[in-house]
Chains A and B, each alone.
Chain A
Amino acid sequence: MESMDVTATEVTVRAPRRRWISAEGGLGIVLAMPILLVMALLVFFPVFVTLWDSMRRIDPMRAGTPFIGLANYFKLFADQNVRTSALNTLVYVAVTVILETVFGVLVALMLNRVKRGRKWLLAAILLPWALPPVVNALVWSWIFNPSHGVLNGLLMDWGLITSRHVWMNDRVIAWLFISVVHVWRMMPLTAVIILAALQGIPAELYEAAEMDGAGSWRKFRSITLPLIAGALAIALSQSTVFAFNLFDEAWILGGASVDTRTVLIQVYQSAFQDMHFSYGMSLSVLVMLASLAVSLVYVLKVHRETRFD
């Protein structure tokens, strides 16, 4: 589709005199220039500086900033805190991506069946995603609060526990709760992406399957699942990138605790608390590369989808 547009444009607008840049191209550059300027100054240049600085030793405690090649990166692999935070992040990625996908698909299927008031139900479901993450985290830390939180209150009210728990002291529970808060915020995104795909499935397919005597599960497996596969891949890579970059929830609920800190919290600790600037930067470069790799799957997928539309 895109390539067709491009040829059509060329045919209509090609300037009579052949120059290196046509008048249209000139306008294109003028319109894109502000974007290039903003991104170059505030993103590309700082990323380049970070890449370069991650290969030097920048440490306020030590004189000079010599070039040390990949030494920071090798040091990362031996660092116990980095390993622990990497494990935590992997746990968050696994738990949140699974929960977001399973519940996101279920919620989308449900929304697709709701006829009356869908707009309002959708608004309610989307709300957690739209709120400031800081407010989300504060709302949930209030729920998990050991002395006055609703979680202890409800569980004691129902007689399920007899004393108040300090939830964040148990590592597995802390992992789970931080994941739950992240899922609360990000699951709506999966649900909305899947819902859009569900609405694109023609009803006749289901009618035909019903005539052939297919049950609900059979219809889901043979019609729904293959037709939402593309959207599912997009939702999965979105969830993965967001989980890789988890920060706010773990920071407000678990603080700097090694048991719950994510790789990005480790970056913050190394660079801003311990003042090992270049060391923290090298870790952030690794997070960036991991995110880019996952996003590439997303971009390629979307590119193919739009091309074959």
Chain B
Amino acid sequence: MKSKKSARIGLALGVIAVLVWSLGPLYWSMVASFTPPLDITDHVFHYFPVRPTLEHYGHLLGATSVTQGNITESVWPQFSRALVNSVITVTAATLVTVALAAFGAYAFVRLRFPGRNALFALVVATLAIPAYTVMIPLFRLMVSMQLVDTYVGVTLIYVSAFLPLALWLMRSIYQSMPLSLEEAAWIDGAGRLYTLVRIVMPLAAPGLIASAMLTFLSAWGQFMVPLVFSPTMATKPLTVLIPEFIGKNYVDYGLMNAAGMLAILPPLLVVLFMNRFLISGLTAGSGK
């Protein structure tokens, strides 16, 4: 009995330690986002915002404020523009990637064509290629196609970067599905594409959602690709805009942390409400 009790206490301590490790750094960033600029830079240490303020969020989302006689212009024009850019490129990349993977993976599993296995191996092998390896030729290519700083250009690069994982995932999903269902449909005279869209894909929906979530998170977090291919506000996403709040001489820590807190909201929602799909996606490749 006694060892059972101590085991439970040990488990509780472990849970607390893991929660502090995972959420502590984010908590600290959140504290900074609610702390007035003067309190951030005074050298007194506080565990929570003593005089909480929405000043930094206001600064991001629309209000012009006055600190020590300096008028701080709202960064809402840039922030909203970057938010729209992020949403457009990430949504487009996710939809295209999942669509290509959903149809393509079926071909790689059920339809025999010459060079099938070689193509699959080549595509999956690109998972191991660091982005820097292709950066210079890719940039020249994008310039020649006049796709630098366009939604189409950035979306295409995201698709090429995240398609291999989605394809791998969807292939393992289709492989685990019984052939008998499809055979029944064929016997009833249904065509291949009809069977795929009306019977196979609905059954593979959890896999499709998992691929979409993984692609969404990867694209949302991209930094290096848009740094090179989205040089202006025309397509610049949040991840590139936020580090720019670190000026040459002055760092607005409150603003930076507030912007970071807003940028993590979409991934936070995905993790909270979609974690079942995420986890099935992360482990599907490992064979179980």
Contacts and interface: CB of A to CB of B under 8 A. Distances in A.
Interface of A: 1-2, 5-6, 8-10, 12-13, 21-22, 24-29, 31-32, 34-36, 38-39, 41-47, 49-50, 53, 106-107, 110, 113-114, 119, 121-128, 130-135, 138-140, 142-143, 145, 147-148, 150, 153-154, 156-157, 184, 188-189, 192-193, 195-197, 200, 230-231, 234, 241, 245, 247-248, 252, 264, 267-268, 271, 277, 280-281, 284-285, 287-288, 291-292, 294-295, 299, 302, 305-306, 309
Contact of A271 (B45, B132, B172, B275): B132
Main secondary structure of the interface of B (DSSP, over half): helix
B173 interface: no
B287 A126 contact: no
Nearest to A305: B287
A32 B128 contact: no
B71 interface: no
Nearest to B193: A27
A71 to B, nearest CB: 19
Nearest to B127: A295
Interface stretch (B55-63, B75-83, B134-142, B200-208): B134-142
Interface in B1-49: 11, 14-15, 18-19, 21-23, 25-26, 28-29, 32, 40-41, 43, 45
A197 B288 contact: yes
Interface residues of B, number: 94
B192 A50 contact: no
A131 B267 contact: yes
A216 B164 CA distance: 41
Interface string B109-152: 11111101001001111111110111111100100000000000
Contacts of A133: 221, 223
Contacts of B109: 5
Contacts of B45: 150, 153-154, 156-157
A130 B267 contact: yes
Contact of A147 (B43, B107, B276): B43
A132 B112 contact: no
29 contacts: A5-B110, A10-B112, A28-B107, A31-B111, A42-B157, A43-B126, A46-B134, A46-B138, A50-B133, A106-B14, A126-B271, A130-B217, A130-B268, A132-B263, A132-B264, A134-B239, A135-B263, A138-B242, A139-B26, A139-B260, A147-B43, A157-B45, A188-B22, A196-B279, A230-B286, A284-B130, A284-B133, A302-B286, A306-B175
A142 B132 contact: no
Contacts of A25: 111-114
A277 B136 CA distance: 8
A295 B107 contact: no
Contact of B133 (A6, A29, A285): A285
A8 B109 CA distance: 12
Nearest to B221: A132
A39 B256 contact: no
A45 B141 contact: yes
> Which of A43, A44, A45, A150: most chain B Cβ within 10 A?
A43
A225 to B, nearest CB: 17
Given A12-B186, A193-B282, A43 B129 contact: yes
A303 to B, nearest CB: 9
> Which of B127, B268, B287: most chain A Cβ within 10 A?
B287
Contacts of A184: 21-22, 25
Given A39-B126, A139-B260, A31 B104 contact: yes
A142 B31 CA distance: 11
Main secondary structure of the interface of A (DSSP, over half): helix
Contact of A12 (B40, B175, B183): B183
A27 B156 contact: no
A257 B283 CA distance: 37
B125 to A, nearest CB: 6
A127 B23 contact: yes
A38 B160 contact: yes
Interface string B241-257: 01100000000010011
B98 interface: no
A133 B223 CA distance: 8
B271 A32 contact: no
Contacts of B160: 38-39, 41-43
Given A142-B32, A153-B45, A192-B279, A43 B159 contact: no
A124 B23 contact: yes
Contact of B275 (A29, A126, A299): A126
Given A31-B107, A47-B126, A139-B29, 14 more contacts: A5-B179, A12-B186, A25-B112, A35-B100, A35-B119, A35-B123, A39-B160, A50-B137, A125-B22, A130-B270, A133-B223, A135-B260, A252-B243, A306-B287
Contacts of A10: 112
A38 B111 contact: no
Contacts of A281: 133, 136
